């Protein structure tokens, strides 16, 4: 059995990651911990609507500071998308700061998140991709069809990239079948609730350790059993399954 290790989500500055972290910002409410993530990542990419969110919402997290100073401090490295959502003033502001803006108007077959992931995978030769983890904020909440499209991106890249979708309430990633996944939990902000949900097809056998209600060669399917409202009981969880599983944890962030 092959092994995969999912390293802990490192929102706190005093926790070191064994992964190269990249941040993608989508066009939905930015979590309050976005500034904490900013300093930990090697690359910051916005969709065009995500650039509007960054421009509008980051200064609100620093009410005593000049908004212009915050926008300079938290400027994206790249904005990529079909540019149908970005406001002209936002585009001009970040362009003057040196942000690379990539127009993908010719590609109407993929979502802006998909476009950003392709950029990170194929067009960042200087980025160490040995243990690459892509954190996507603004990925959960809002319209369900958008959430479903984001989950579809997880599935598209499941065997080649580690992508984590984030909101202020939860994290979501996809565990590929055929591996023993070892997941390190940071109990200071993750949990206690968690879940495992089969994606695309039922699981005929899933086994876990580290949960209050562990599974032992357990079948899971919609219309039958799925593991929701489970509880973390260890800082290391292992998962092994014959199907793709969505792994989700509750997030409790204190600034």
pLDDT in tens, 122-178: 999 999 888 899 999 999 988 899 999 999 999 999 888 999 999 999 999 999 999
What is the count of structural domains for the chain? 2
User: Please, what is the Cα angle at 147 between 146 and 150, to 5 degrees?
Assistant: 90
Share of the chain above pLDDT 70, in %: 91
Q: Which of the listed residues 135, 168, 201 is the one where a domain comes to its end?
A: 168
CA distances (Å), origin 20, targets 7, 137, 196: 11, 17, 25
Residue 5 belongs to a domain: no
The mean pLDDT of 229-238, rounded to a whole number, is: 95
Question: Are 116 and 22 in the same domain?
Answer: yes
Question: Are 51 and 152 in the same domain?
Answer: yes
The pLDDT assigned to 110 comes to 84
The Cα 79–Cα 66 span in angstroms is 23
CA distances (Å), origin 239, targets 156, 180, 201, 213, 242: 20, 6, 17, 13, 10
Given pLDDT bands bounded at 50, 70 and 90, which one contains residue 4?
A: low
Domain housing 50: 17-168
Question: Are 159 and 184 in the same domain?
Answer: no
Residue 232 token pair: 């973390």
Instruction: Answer whether residue 5 shows pLDDT above 60.
Output: no
Bridge partner list, 247 = 173, 196
Residue 6 belongs to a domain: no
Given pLDDT bands bounded at 50, 70 and 90, which one contains residue 16?
A: very low
The pLDDT assigned to 189 comes to 86
Residue 118 belongs to a domain: yes
Question: Are 39 and 149 in the same domain?
Answer: yes
Give per-residue pLDDT as tens, 17-76. Answer: 568 999 999 999 999 999 999 999 999 999 999 999 999 999 999 999 999 999 999 999
Given pLDDT bands bounded at 50, 70 and 90, which one contains residue 219?
A: very high
Question: Are 212 and 117 in the same domain?
Answer: no
Residue 10 belongs to a domain: no
CB atoms within 10 A of CB 155: 15
In 3D, which of 19, 6, 10 has the Cα closest to residue 180? 6
CATH number of residue 150's parent domain: 3.40.50.10240
The pLDDT assigned to 15 comes to 36
Question: Are 99 and 206 in the same domain?
Answer: no
Question: Are 65 and 136 in the same domain?
Answer: yes
Which H helix or E strand runs over 225? none
The Cα 220–Cα 198 span in angstroms is 7
Question: For residues 240 and 207, is the Cβ–Cβ distance under 8 A?
Answer: yes
The mean pLDDT of 91-98, rounded to a whole number, is: 96
């Amino acid at each position: 059995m092959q092994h995969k290790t999912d390293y802990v989500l490192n929102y706190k500055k005093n926790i070191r990651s064994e992964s190269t972290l990249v941040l993608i910002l989508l066009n939905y409410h930015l979590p309050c911990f976005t500034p904490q993530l900013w300093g930990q990542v090697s690359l910051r990419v916005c969709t065009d609507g995500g650039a509007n969110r960054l421009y509008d919402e980051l200064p609100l997290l620093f009410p005593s500071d000049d908004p212009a100073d915050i926008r300079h401090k938290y400027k994206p490295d790249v904005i990529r998308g079909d540019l149908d959502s970005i406001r002209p003033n936002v585009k001009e502001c970040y362009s003057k700061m040196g942000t690379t803006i990539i127009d993908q108007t010719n590609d109407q077959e993929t979502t802006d998140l998909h476009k950003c992931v392709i950029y990170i995978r194929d067009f960042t030769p200087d980025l160490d991709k040995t243990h690459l983890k892509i954190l996507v904020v603004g990925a959960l909440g809002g319209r369900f069809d958008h959430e479903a499209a984001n989950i579809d991106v997880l599935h598209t890249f499941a065997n080649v990239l580690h992508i984590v979708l984030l909101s202020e309430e939860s994290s979501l990633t996809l565990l590929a079948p055929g591996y023993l996944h070892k997941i390190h939990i940071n109990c200071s902000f993750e949990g206690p609730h968690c879940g495992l949900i089969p994606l695309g097809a039922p699981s005929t056998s899933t086994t876990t350790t580290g949960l209050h209600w562990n599974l032992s060669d357990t079948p899971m399917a919609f219309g039958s059993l799925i593991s929701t409202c489970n509880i973390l009981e260890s800082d290391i969880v292992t998962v092994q399954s014959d199907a793709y599983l969505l792994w989700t944890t509750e997030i409790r962030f204190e600034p």
